[in-house]
Amino acid sequence: MNAFQQATRDQIRLVQRGLLKVGQLRLKYGDREAAIRRREQPYEEMLEKLYVRDLPLAKLGDESDLLVHLKGPGASAPTPKVSILTKMLTGTRDQVTKLAKQLANIDATRVPPGLDMNLVGLARGSLFIGFAVSDGADAQLTRRAVELLGEASVLVAQDKSLEEVVGVFDEPAERDIAMAAIRHLSPSNRSQIDEVELLGTAVKQSVRLTTETRRHATSLMVQPARVTKLVRAEFVGTVRELDLDEKRFMLRNIVGHSNEIRCAYEIDDDEAQGLMNRRMRVSGTAEHSKTGKVSLLWVDDFEPIDDAL
């Protein structure tokens, strides 16, 4: 049996022993029912709490590579809003998958089965959502993505500088995707969630995401890292996966380049929407991976090559 479940069952046995002793008192002092009942009731309440909340939560803790704990009015209600639950389910899965796909150098829009995550379950108090890495061939990439997300979240929560974050992430696109994931998972001022805590067997150190981590993650995404010499680069490719909130898109089917490139831009939303699915010549400041490939391009110039595809 896993550690959290074993600890909870040990507590259950202690409470059961307490109830047994109270039962023995009832047999010995049958004329003192009111006093015995006062001693018995706390044990019953503890046992109910252990079975109803703690044991399901312990199961999640043991079986989840990533355990997301939501706190706030939207998570504390007897039955959480479906909108909040679906947003966290799809959002967490999508953010981890993006990072796993980057680790695997997969350009396809469709998520390979091995990179998808499994839902372990839900538990109350406030609201816990457990995710597990699948048993697929590429599962280790998803687990590594969760580990990187946890490490990056700790740095952001500690208000570390971009240079300090770069020290953990050798690959610029991985760093940028992780920052975007933290921004996405952190609550906003308009949400009914005050705090999102990340735990799980693949998260080495639990971390709390708040509106502050959202702001700091955003600030780490507004400029290139200047720990190495920045160079100009130009590519011709197709604009895919445009994200207006993050101001990012993926450049695919690139002439003379085998991999996709994550791109950051600064134009307004209306102009950016006109880029989607277009063949474009883009140029800007490039960040390179350790292997020397362009990994993240800070685009400052766009030129249409042909009509929309």
Closest CA to 141 of 198, 95, 201, 99: 99
Same domain flag for 99 and 182: yes
Same domain flag for 189 and 282: no
Alpha-carbon gap, residue 94 to 184, rounded angstroms? 10
Residue 142 lies in a domain: yes
Residue 54 lies in a domain: no
Say how far residue 293 (Cα) sits from the centre of its chain: 27
Residue 271 lies in a domain: yes
Residue 34 lies in a domain: yes
Same domain flag for 137 and 249: no
Sign of the Cα torsion 247, 84, 96, 217 reads: positive
Same domain flag for 155 and 177: yes
**Region for residue 230 given its phi and psi (left: phi exceeds 0; alpha: psi -120 to 50; beta: otherwise):** beta
Same domain flag for 30 and 170: no
Domain stops at, among 159, 188, 219: 219
> Which pLDDT does position 309 carry in this prediction?
44
Contacts of 292 (CB under 8 A, 6+ apart): none
Q: What is the CATH number of the domain that holds 255?
A: 2.40.50.110
Domain stops at, among 195, 219, 243: 219
Domain stops at, among 184, 199, 219: 219
Domains identified in the chain, total number: 3
Same domain flag for 82 and 214: yes
Residue 270: is it exposed, middle or buried by C-beta count within 10 angstroms (0-12/13-18/19+)?
exposed
pLDDT tens sequence for the chain (309 residues): 477 677 777 788 888 888 888 888 888 888 888 888 888 888 888 888 777 777 777 788 788 999 999 998 888 766 777 888 888 999 999 899 889 888 877 766 666 667 788 888 888 767 899 999 887 767 888 999 999 999 999 999 999 999 899 888 878 999 999 999 999 999 998 888 999 999 999 999 999 999 999 999 999 999 888 766 778 999 999 999 999 999 999 999 999 887 889 999 999 999 999 999 999 999 999 998 888 889 999 999 999 986 544
Q: Could you list the residue range(s) of the whole structural domain that residue 276 is in?
A: 231-304
> Which pLDDT does position 207 carry in this prediction?
96
Residue 270 lies in a domain: yes
pTM of full prediction above 0.85: no
Same domain flag for 239 and 101: no
Residue 56 lies in a domain: no
Same domain flag for 121 and 240: no
Residue 89 lies in a domain: yes
Structure tokens at 83: 């909108």
